[in-house]
Amino acid sequence: MIDGATQMKPIWYFVGWVLIVIGVLVLAAGLYYLIFPIDLDIALRGLHMNIWWGAVLVLGGALLTFFNRKPVKV
């Protein structure tokens, strides 16, 4: 190991942020379609799966970001 090595964030920290951003977009689209429903014949439309998956993506991204926030020495 070199003296004075640089510190970098793990890749999973940035993957967490990407999941958070995508989750917020999916969640926002789901909430939009909850307020302004479209008239399509979609099976199980009442489950609002984009709201659920958006929340899962945000939660998973938050966990990845939280547990990988400490820099590692390279």
For the chain, 74 residues long, the average pLDDT of each consecutive 10-residue run is 76 96 98 90 87 98 94 83
Residue 10 · residue 72 · CB < 8 Å: yes
By 3-state DSSP, what share of the chain in percent is helix, strand and coil, each rounded to 5?
65, 5, 30
Q: What pTM value is reported for the model?
A: 0.84
pLDDT of 3 reads 64
pLDDT of 38 reads 85
Residues contacting 28, CB < 8 A, separation 6+: 54
pLDDT of 13 reads 95
Q: In angstroms, what is the C-alpha Rg of the chain?
A: 18
pLDDT of 42 reads 81
The two tokens of residue 24 are 């917020």
